[in-house]
Amino acid sequence: MTAPIVNLLLTPDRRNDSRPGRRTHRRRTVENDDYSAFTRRIITAHGRRIARGDIEGLADLAALADDIDTAIRHAVTGLRAAGYSWTDIGTRLGMTRQAAQQRWGRHDDH
């Protein structure tokens, strides 16, 4: 298996966080910002297509919410296993540490 190709111009270097007592984690991404934007465009286009009369696709679009929740759960579990704190995770999601832990912590082994 080969390592993913990372465009360093698109991947911020977060290794130089000089705040005292702060654990730093190297951001291992493969253009996640671009990937997220692409995913948003696909979902938006899918919604527009359904809006033009494809009612059969409505249930599939709604089911994507469950898929996204599952993906977030896997991401949070992986981040916790990599040593990220509930504060780190909550901050990125715009919620408190407690809210993040309540939502995803029951599946956390830490």
pLDDT single digits (tens) 67-107? 999 999 999 999 999 999 999 999 999 999 999 999 999 75
Q: What per-residue confidence (pLDDT) applies to 33?
A: 80
Report the distance separating Cα 64 and Cα 47, nearest Å.
11
* Chain mean pLDDT for the chain: 80
Res. 15: pLDDT tops 80: no
Predicted structure pTM score: 0.63
* Percent of the chain at pLDDT exceeding 90: 60
- The residue type found at 59 is A
- On whether the CB atoms of residues 64 and 47 are closer than 8 A, the answer is no
